[in-house]
Structures are given as C-alpha cells and as structure tokens.
Structure 1
C-alpha cells in the first residue's frame, strides 16, 4: 500500500471536515467523525492536526483561499469600480457553486465567534487582508490603505449578508438580483475614490 504524505493527508482532513461540518455542524464534527469521513485512522488526524482548533483554523483558511483563487479573471479594460464589483459577483458565484463550502464557512464562523472570540478576530483579520490583497491586485493598486480597508470591509459585509440571505430563502434568482444591487453599491463606493 502506498504511503500518503502529510500534506496530502492534511488536505484530505480539511475536505472531510468541510463535509462533516456542512452536514452535522461544528459541535457534532468530532475528530473521530472527520477521520472516518477521510477514511483515515483517528491517530493520523491527531498527528497532522494536534488539536481540533488547528484543524478548524485550517478549514477556515482554506475557505478563504479557495474562492480567492477564482478571482484571477479581471475584465479587460475594466475600471477599478467595475473590477471590484465583479469581484463580489465572482465570490458569490463561487460559493453558490460550492454550497457545502458556503454552509461550512457560515457554520464555522458562527461557532468560532461564539466559542473562540480571539480566533474569530484572527480569522476576520486574515479574511480582510486577503480581500485587500485581491482588490489591490484587480485594481492595480488604485487606492491608499484607508480606501482599500473601507472597500474591503464593505465587500466582506455585503458578501456575508448575501450569503445569509441566500441560506434563508434558497432562491438563486433572487440572490443574483440582490448580488447585482450589491455590486452597484460597491461600484459607487469605489468610483467615489
């Protein structure tokens, strides 16, 4: 039997955790259940992730990084406002195309906020920095730090609100219409700079 490297096994555990959290919630996402979903011994999970918190942080970090990778498509000749609005649209589309990941991200953040406030603050900071970096890249460094922070926070707040609304009503057409409204709001703010 071929030996599986720690990094590959790490990714298996992250993917298994996403599925288990989406199905059972964070509280019921035991390391035993996650190891079983990854088809791995529990001891291997604890070797790769020393604590459940380490695993949860890795899951959340993955949920921040994966959609950021989808933001490679910048509209040719687009203004900074159009690029930033399109970025919000791409994020919403990515998560609606990956509903298990959207559910996991929401469930995980709510659990962390309630149970590990310091980790929640750290995760929000990582998310804000990733969003700032992505906006800076798609707009070709068009903003000073204050504007970049303001735009990034608005984008995160709009995205989170759109996802919460979608979880509640489940209507993709309604989500798309609400996303277009939110994109116009982002474009208006960006254009004001």
Structure 2
C-alpha cells in the first residue's frame, strides 16, 4: 500500500510590514521569467530584496510560496470576473462571453498562464503539496460555476447541471490553452473556442 501523506497546514506568520506580499509578488516575477522549477527560494529572496532567513520566517518552503501565489492570482481573477459579469445575461450569452473573457485574460498575461500550468505539474511531484493541484482545479471550476450560475435563466435547482457544464468548459479549454501556449496560433485558438461555445450551449438547450 502506498504511503499516504497528510497535507501540511502552514502556520501564520506576522505580516505587519507587508513582507509576505512583497515576497509573493517577487516570486511571481521570478516564476514568469525563469519558470517554476528554477525559481529557488534564494532567487525569490533576492528579487524581493530580503535575505533568505527573512523569506523563511514568512514562508516555510517553496511550496508554501506557490500556494500563496496561487491564492493571489485566484483572488485577482475572481475580482475581475465579478466586475465583468455584474449585468444580467442569459446562460447562452454568458457562455460565449465567459470564454471570451478567459481568452482576454490569457492574452493580457500569458506569462501568468504558463506559470499556473507549471505550478500544477510542479506540485504533483511533491507528495506533501500534491493536493494544491486539485485545490487549484476546484477553485477555478467553482469560479466558472458561480459566474454561469448567476445567469438570468438559471435557478438554484440547476446547480448540479451548472457544475457539470463548468467542468466541461474548463476541461476543454485547458487543452485549447496548452495548445496555444505551445504554438501561439491565435487563429486556431479562436476557432476552437468558438466550437467549444457551440458544444457547451448544446448541453443546455435554449428554451
């Protein structure tokens, strides 16, 4: 039987001087420029303008820094998503607009998208941090489910179907995103995304 590991919970550290935010911001910059695998705690400390001891006072290890970077990116993404989709829409319209919004986010910050993909692969190699990959997947799908669930023609009773629809959109678009990251073929991405919109709408026939 394979040994099971219990996800480690980080202990909160004092942050009165904003050091945690400073380190997290520096970590994202280093990860974008050098990749997640090469972003050592020493390089992150140097980019943040702190010594390694200070970094480890606020973060136990690289995996905890990755968790914090993920949390910041998700929080920022949620804010932009909520702002963009504040007006009422039917689900069919929202499906197309949501996928258009996702592409705009990727186009405006492709480095962040590449970092998120690298983070998933990185944490899967670290037994005590592997749960972070599943956490990231759940959080993004939940964001999409909340967005779609606020459509004007969707009710609370539709929540299970909305969850399935969100999973379908997310799983398919991850493949589209990975293809674009490899080829940077924007025309192909837009064509495939349009096909995904049609497929997603077919799962929820208009009434």
- Indicate whether the TM-score tops 0.5: yes
Contact 1:83–1:139 (8 Å) recurs in 2: no
Compared CA separation, residues 184 and 11, structure 1 to 2 (3 A):
farther
Partner of 1:68: 78
Structure 1, 28-37 or 107-116: larger mean CA deviation: 107-116
In 2, Cα distance between equivalents of 1:43 and 1:186:
50
Partner of 1:33: 43
Compared CA separation, residues 57 and 190, structure 1 to 2 (3 A):
farther
Compared CA separation, residues 57 and 76, structure 1 to 2 (3 A):
closer
Selected match of 2:142 from 97, 106, 129: 129
Q: What CA deviation, in whole Å up to 9, does each residue of 1:79-138 have, x standing for no partner?
A: 112112211220121022101101110111111223343222232222332332232235
Q: Which has the higher contact order (CA 8 A, sep 6+)?
A: 1
Q: Secondary structure at the match of 1:20?
A: helix
Structure 1 or 2, whichever has the larger Rg, is: 2
Partner of 1:188: 202
- Runs of 4+ in structure 1 off by over 4 angstroms are 138-141
The normalised TM-score by structure 1 is 0.83
Partner of 2:98: 87
Q: Secondary structure at the match of 1:191?
A: coil
- More helix per residue: 1
Q: List gaps (5 residues or longer) in structure 2.
A: 1-14
Compared CA separation, residues 7 and 167, structure 1 to 2 (3 A):
farther
Q: List gaps (5 residues or longer) in structure 1.
A: none
Contact 1:82–1:187 (8 Å) recurs in 2: no
Q: What CA deviation, in whole Å up to 9, does each residue of 1:10-32 have, x standing for no partner?
A: 23322222222223222221111
Partner of 1:145: 159
Contact 1:19–1:100 (8 Å) recurs in 2: no
In the alignment of these two chains, the number of paired residues is 189
